């Protein structure tokens, strides 16, 4: 079989959605299950055209519930697997996102956020799902969520999402938005050998020694896949290290659920990423992510021109949130500004961490993201 190249090394002009699809393929994703939805459709379309050429599977499922279920199945069968959706589909996926967290199935979920709630505004950007990414499924668990602000990051962070998801056996989200997904920009794809790829820790002990949910020191259990002779069981029920249900045991429940949380919390320093701009002496700290961060950076630069000591903190991982970076930046700040395309979501995290009474949220709903001027004016008004 003559195969097309998986990694399209070179300089490209691409949309964010297509870059995300290419990032997935470069990361080694060979299974995609999805259900079309604006503004994520182009990811599925591009994957549908690329997968058969590189020996991967594209399947269009009957809905998003099925899509994420199939992704978890493919992951357990040994493939790197992904789905992509937007708010309405993201809501449908929550049930099985919990299953992926509980059974520690590595998988990547892209949510190209549009305006909600409900069907909302299919073609307009939003950041209204960022809390849902953290808390969307019932029960206690942790996930990893990344926030791209450019076409290049749609590529890079999709790879990163796969790497983190494989490292920690956890669902990883790419929380994009309509603008980042639909805009076209330059994308540089490095040579394949320069792209860092992480594969899940595999079970390498003899089957009789394998306990599918016995963690190593990093709190992550090595993973066997179906068909390798390990003959193991996995369940969404509370389970012990053997994978067997123990639904009446507070001890098993406590141990399991705490580990699911701690494998992310205790490794947060290794996972967290944030971009810091002019924060050293900042009196005004702007916290912005995704496409909004680009306008925020312009606004901060403009403020500096006008003599206001402003800086930008851009969380790249929304979850875990860059708590330490923010705490440090906020130490000497007088004013903290959080522009978001929602009615106030990540701002709650900022308030929680800084405990500052001078945190101001700038909402933007139902149209283009904030302009640099809007954020600049807000800085000027709030920072007296």
Residues that bind other proteins (CB under 8 A): 1-4, 30-31, 33, 52-53, 55, 57, 59, 61-63, 65-67, 69-79, 81, 95-96, 98-99, 103, 226-237, 242, 244-245
- Among candidates 290, 278, 291, 272, which has minimal Cα distance to 379? 278
| Backbone dihedral angles phi then psi of residue 216, each to the nearest 5 degrees | -80, -170
- Among candidates 74, 128, 70, 68, which has minimal Cα distance to 98? 68
CB of 228 to other proteins, least distance (A): 8
The region that residue 58 occupies, defined by phi over 0 for left and psi between -120 and 50 for alpha, beta otherwise, is beta
Q: Classify 115 as helix, strand or coil.
A: strand
Tokens of 99: 């299953």
Q: Classify 202 as helix, strand or coil.
A: strand
Nearer to other proteins, 92 or 131 (CB): 92
Nearer to other proteins, 79 or 285 (CB): 79
Q: How many CB atoms neighbour CB 156 within 10 A?
A: 22
d(CA 19, CA 340): 24
Q: What is the DSSP string of 174-197?
A: EEEEHHHHH-EEEEEEPPGGGS--
d(CA 117, CA 112): 14
CB of 202 to other proteins, least distance (A): 15
CB of 48 to other proteins, least distance (A): 11
- The β-bridge partners of 308 are none
Nearer to other proteins, 101 or 181 (CB): 101
CB of 77 to other proteins, least distance (A): 4
d(CA 129, CA 90): 8
Nearer to other proteins, 102 or 113 (CB): 102
Nearer to other proteins, 231 or 324 (CB): 231
Nearer to other proteins, 74 or 287 (CB): 74
| Backbone dihedral angles phi then psi of residue 78, each to the nearest 5 degrees | 110, 0
Nearer to other proteins, 234 or 316 (CB): 234
Cis omega (within 30 of 0) for bond into 61: no
CB of 106 to other proteins, least distance (A): 13
Nearer to other proteins, 15 or 96 (CB): 96
**Long-range CB contacts for residues 234-237, cutoff 8 Å, separation at least 24:** 234/76, 234/103, 235/103, 236/98, 236/99, 236/102, 236/103
């Amino acid at each position: 079989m003559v195969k097309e190249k998986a990694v399209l090394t070179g300089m490209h002009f691409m949309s964010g959605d297509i870059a995300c699809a290419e990032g997935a393929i470069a990361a080694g994703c060979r299974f995609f299950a999805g259900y079309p939805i604006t503004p994520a459709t182009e990811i599925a379309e591009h994957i549908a055209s690329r997968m058969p050429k590189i020996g991967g599977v594209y399947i269009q499922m009957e809905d998003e519930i099925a899509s994420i279920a199939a992704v978890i199945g493919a992951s357990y069968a040994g493939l790197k697997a992904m789905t992509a959706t937007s708010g309405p589909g993201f809501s449908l996926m929550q049930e099985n996102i919990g299953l992926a967290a509980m059974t520690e199935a590595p998988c990547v979920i892209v949510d190209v956020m549009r305006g909600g709630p409900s069907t909302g505004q299919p073609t307009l950007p939003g950041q209204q799902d960022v809390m849902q990414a953290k808390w969307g499924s019932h029960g206690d668990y942790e996930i990893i969520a990344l926030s791209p602000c450019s076409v290049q990051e749609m590529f890079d962070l999709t790879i990163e999402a796969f790497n983190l998801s494989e490292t920690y056996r956890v669902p990883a989200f790419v929380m994009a938005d309509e603008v980042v997904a639909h805009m076209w920009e330059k994308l540089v794809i490095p040579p394949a050998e320069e792209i860092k790829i992480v594969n899940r820790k595999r079970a390498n002990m003899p089957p009789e020694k394998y306990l599918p949910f016995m963690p190593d020191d990093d709190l992550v259990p090595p993973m066997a896949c179906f068909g390798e002779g390990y003959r193991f069981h996995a369940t969404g029920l509370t389970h012990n290290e053997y994978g067997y249900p123990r639904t009446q045991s507070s001890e098993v429940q406590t141990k399991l659920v705490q580990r699911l949380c701690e494998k992310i919390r205790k490794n947060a320093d290794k996972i967290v990423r944030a971009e810091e701009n002019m924060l050293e002496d900042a009196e005004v700290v702007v916290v912005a992510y995704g496409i909004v961060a680009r306008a925020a950076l312009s606004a901060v630069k403009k403020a500096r021109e006008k003599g206001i000591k402003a800086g930008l903190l851009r969380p790249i991982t929304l979850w875990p949130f860059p708590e330490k970076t923010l705490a440090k930046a906020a130490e000497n700040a007088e004013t903290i500004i959080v522009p978001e395309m929602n009615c106030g979501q990540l701002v709650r995290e900022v308030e929680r961490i800084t405990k500052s009474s001078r945190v101001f949220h700038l909402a933007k709903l139902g149209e283009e993201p904030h302009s640099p001027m809007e954020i600049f004016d807000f800085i000027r008004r709030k920072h007296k």
